[in-house]
Chain A
Amino acid sequence: MIDALQDLLPLWALLASLGTAVIIFALRDERRRQRTFWNLFGASVKLLLVALLVYGFLQGRSYQVAWEVVPGVTFHLAADPLALLFAMLSAVLWLVTTVYAVAYLENSAQRARFFGFFSLCVAATFGIALAGNLFTFLLFYEALTLATYPLVVHRGHPAALAAGRTYLAYTLGGGMALLAGTVALYAAVGEQPFSPGGSAAVAEWAAAAPGAATVVLALLLGGVAVKAALFPLQAWLPIAMVAPAPVSALLHAVAVVKAGAFGVVRIVQDVYGHDVAADLNVTPVLAALAAVTILYGSLRALAQVDIKRRLAFSTVSQVSFITLGVAMGGPLALIGGLVHLVHQGLMKITLFFCAGNYAETLGIHRIESLNGVGRRMPLTSVAFTIGALGMIGFPPIAGFISKWHLGLGALAQELYWVLAVLVASTLLNAAYFLPVLRRIWLLPAPAGWPGAPAWRRGAETHRWLLYPALFTALAALLAGVLAAAEFSPLNWAQRIVEQEYPP
């Protein structure tokens, strides 16, 4: 009995978020305490279940939930190391973001709707993580679009609605490409579960019909590239910044953008296999696009005066490191890409939390108003600094580990131009983050902050706004310092790569 229940653990974890969403939808807007309880309860249960999943996996259990949906097509959840990496990331960051969002949206309208869709969003992300085949992946990938839309337009003003339209135009368009590609793949080779190193049937088909295989791969990658904000499909992301800060944090660090990047990993590594994709000449194009995106995002970030928009363009640039790592091929580069999935999440969510804190506490939205804020909000500013330095790639923060492995991978694959891209991006990152840090710490503070709500003048900020940022900043720091430890993100990424490239 217990065993049977435990075999269905992926399903329980999925239902934990779905159930939370249903309960929260049913609560009326003014039931604040109850909603906060269910939010935190749901997020904690989810984290616990995912932790059990990881534990069971380490004990050698294999979790497979599958049933036939239409003839020849199954709904399939499976827990492989890559799935668990993403699931764990989303479960941890969901709990943290929930704490943050509860405080952030304390007095705003429509909180039941917000938190309901927030939970749905995480359910979809978990489904994406544990999808065992392309159909299941598509299912949750599209559901994510639906769940995030109400979050993007949450504020309901014309700019939010316009952003929502742009967001939908891009993501639904990408979804259609992914749908067409998936159906075509199923029509050609039938259902293939995700398998490390690519499926044999797809490899045979690609050898027999390279033209069709290339078109299908392009459709699939085009579909996920939209959410991964790969150039030239990145325009929706900065526009979606009108959403409240917790949503931006979630969109950028965990859910939407990562779903796209994760899809790139799955499709290149576990459907086609890197070698097949390279033979079809798709990965060089992908690597080139990723490199362009990295530089383009950084250059655009330089020109932004709004904090959140600068961070958004930084996301465009940073997420493409994942794609770059996958596209380069070889174990080292893949490690770099996979570990960046986690590292970028930790660092970027820290930065967005801090940006939200500045805005909520002092009414600061623009970079030029950050002068001297380090003395007014020291802890937030320390967290921001850790995030920013990590993004640049300062050792020993997490971002350094990613870039180091990417660089090693480029050397191993003899792709020397990638090194140039890495160096250029580091310089650009420094160019758009260091002036911000200089303002925060070195420039004199103005006499007062006109945008600050009066009652908050005493404390640095609301505690529930501060602790999440400190927690994720610490995590980003530890992920770098303790990278060699067992169960660090790096260690886990190596575990995945051992499967993808068996020694």
Chain B
Amino acid sequence: MATLSLPLAFFLPLLTALAVFLVRARRAPWLPLLGALATVVAVADVVRQVAEHGPQVHHLGGWQPPLGVELYADGLSALMLGMTALVGLAVTLYAGPYLRGKGYNTELFWPLWLVQWATLNGTFLSADLFNLYVMLELLTLTAAPLAAMAGDRPSLGAAMRYLLLALLGSLAYLLGVALLYGGTGTLHLREVGELVGADAHTAVAAALITAGLFAKAAVFPLHMWLMPAHSNAPAPASAALSALVAKAGLYLVLRLWLWVFPVLLSTYMGWLIGALGALAVLYGSLQALRQPRLKQVIAYSTIAQLGYLLLLLPMVVIPAAAVHAWQGVAYHALAHGFAKSAAFLAAGNMLYSLGHDRLEGLRGLTPYLSITVLTLGLAFASLMALPPSGGFLAKWLLLSGAISGGQWPWAVVIILGSVLAAAYAFRVLAVAHAAPPAGYTEVRPAQRVPRIMEWVPLLLVLIVYAMGVTAMPALGLLEQGAPEGLQ
């Protein structure tokens, strides 16, 4: 009984999705919110249990592996579940008025989004490679239609590209899993990790799995689908895709390399993956500097920010850097989740109110959208790692790792990434501060933004600043079930 909240965290959103699909959101508009609240309660219980009693295990239906399905939550899972729950709640609160106001079909949105939430929770809770495959596939199958919801040419094209690349990634992942199963006869993460050796067989499997996940997480150089897909989706979907879905892919990369393939994780291998992350940081930021539209800037910023997560792998092999990097990366994943979703929702308010998000059209905006602009500014400040945000503490930890371990290239990447983030962030904020051009009649928003759409993103971004007060609770939670040497 004690660990019932593990399956509930997965099944509650799934059942809500089903109920919404059958009853129709039109007739029961409170249903998605009810399901979301129930999920948040279940996740809160998971977090509490992990914090108090260490990692939690639940066997579905009482069946032991290898026959049954095991759900497993350690500190890292609990943090990701908690972040997903808060972002998910915000998305659920925001999506209703936004989609109605913009004329989207909410009957399509709710089941897709709630299944996606269930799948995300499932990804963070799964402990075996095949279940993870199912989750990954489901993530793609919910994310692509969400990206295509606008139904116009750019979003359909983008969603199609996303779908094809992600399916290709799934195939590569499945191939890798099959190789591992053939070699070890098991699919359970820990058992596979204990059985594999540092041989060519494992290396090929690891390469396939990593490449597949890179495609799903838009890691450089497989990033090209992300910007159009995320920037053309409706704002609440963009928030979920950027803050949660893409990150789930990277979460798996890190989880698999630390739990399944540590035997392969040599200095050289770490550098190879870290270099890709560094390239993503620089490339994403440079692209964000050149985009003419706000949502495109934020989407490219996702590519850059996710790159930091890969810096864990080169640093984790260096004892002096490992713990700092581990904590920094986990904290960065959290801070980025909140800041990025808040940024996308704020951008959604601009789209909602003005009908466009072209940067040069945002001049003189602040009097009408002051809460939204404040939200955007606070979110960007965390992305560029300015204190007192959670993003700052994450960068502090990462930088501490890089400098303690003598890893100068990564230190340079981290600092350069922050400078570039500041450059693209202030490019946006300067426009928002600019006075309207002379002789220009005042910009009147076409549509007044509902209160709830202004306050939800602000509250979301304030979480990042609460995270900036102290990181100790989150880092304490992270220790539960952390790999050896990272506690």
Contacts and interface: CB of A to CB of B under 8 A. Distances in A.
B430 A161 contact: yes
Contacts of A142: 386-387, 392
Contact of B396 (A145, A146, A161, A183): A183
A112 B370 contact: yes
Interface in B370-405: 370, 374, 381, 386-388, 392-393, 395-397, 399-400, 403-404
Given A70-B471, A145-B386, A176 B430 contact: no
Contacts of B374: 25
B475 A156 contact: no
Contacts of A165: 426, 430
A156 B470 contact: no
Given A113-B366, A176-B415, A139 B388 contact: yes
A180 interface: yes
A75 B475 CA distance: 16
Interface in A55-110: 67-71, 73, 75, 109-110
Given A156-B364, A164-B430, A146 B471 contact: no
Contact of A183 (B386, B400, B430, B470): B400
B475 A70 contact: yes
B471 A69 contact: yes
A190 B474 CA distance: 22
A70 B397 contact: yes
B430 A179 contact: no
A175 B396 CA distance: 13
A157 B437 CA distance: 8
A368 to B, nearest CB: 28
Contact of A187 (B386, B387, B395, B404): B404
A173 interface: yes
B481 to A, nearest CB: 18
Nearest to A109: B367
Interface in B408-452: 411, 415, 418-419, 422, 426, 429-430, 433-435
Nearest to A183: B399
Contact of B470 (A75, A161, A168, A172): A75
Interface in A149-189: 149-150, 153-157, 161, 164-165, 168, 172-173, 175-176, 179-180, 183-184, 186-187
A143 interface: yes
B158 to A, nearest CB: 32
Contacts of A186: 400
B367 A29 contact: yes
A146 B367 contact: no
Nearest to B397: A70
Contacts of A110: 366-367
Contacts of A29: 367
A187 B396 contact: no
Given A75-B470, A113-B370, A187-B404, A179 B415 contact: yes
A346 interface: no
A466 to B, nearest CB: 29
A138 interface: yes
A180 B415 contact: yes
A29 B368 CA distance: 11
A216 B367 CA distance: 44
Interface string B446-484: 000000000000000000000001111001000000000
Contact of A70 (B370, B396, B434): B396
B327 interface: yes
Contacts of B418: 176
A165 B404 CA distance: 33
A69 B470 contact: yes
Nearest to A152: B433
Interface residues of B, number: 35
A146 B472 contact: no
Contacts of B433: 150, 153-154, 156, 161, 164
A149 B374 CA distance: 13
Contacts of B426: 149, 164-165, 168
A187 B400 contact: yes
B422 A172 contact: yes
Interface in B183-219: none
A364 B226 CA distance: 55
Contacts of A67: 470
A110 B432 CA distance: 12
A180 B411 contact: yes
Contacts of A184: 403
Contacts of B469: 69, 75
A173 B399 CA distance: 16
Contacts of A112: 370
A183 B469 CA distance: 18
A149 B386 CA distance: 13
A157 B435 contact: yes
Contacts of B364: 156
Given A70-B472, A146-B381, A187-B400, A156 B435 contact: yes
A14 to B, nearest CB: 11
B434 A173 contact: no
Given A150-B433, A157-B435, A70 B399 contact: no
A233 to B, nearest CB: 16
Nearest to B378: A146
Contacts of A71: 327, 472, 475
Nearest to A70: B471
B387 A143 contact: yes
Contacts of A139: 387-388, 392
B435 A69 contact: no
A138 B395 CA distance: 13
Nearest to B435: A156
Contacts of B411: 180
Contacts of A155: 435
B388 A143 contact: yes
B210 to A, nearest CB: 29
Contacts of B434: 153, 156-157, 161
A176 B387 contact: no
Nearest to A72: B400
A142 B469 CA distance: 15
Contacts of A70: 327, 393, 396-397, 470-472, 475
Contacts of B470: 67-70, 75
Interface of A: 25, 29, 67-71, 73, 75, 109-110, 112-113, 135, 138-140, 142-143, 145-146, 149-150, 153-157, 161, 164-165, 168, 172-173, 175-176, 179-180, 183-184, 186-187
Given A138-B387, A154-B433, 18 more contacts: A29-B367, A69-B472, A70-B470, A75-B469, A110-B367, A139-B388, A142-B392, A153-B434, A156-B364, A156-B434, A157-B435, A161-B430, A161-B433, A161-B434, A164-B426, A176-B418, A183-B399, A187-B403
18 contacts: A25-B374, A29-B367, A68-B472, A70-B470, A70-B475, A71-B472, A139-B392, A140-B387, A142-B387, A156-B364, A161-B434, A164-B426, A164-B430, A179-B396, A180-B403, A180-B415, A183-B403, A186-B400
Q: State the 6 A-B residue pairs at the shortest beta-carbon distance, nearest first.
A: A156-B435, A139-B387, A187-B404, A183-B399, A187-B403, A70-B471
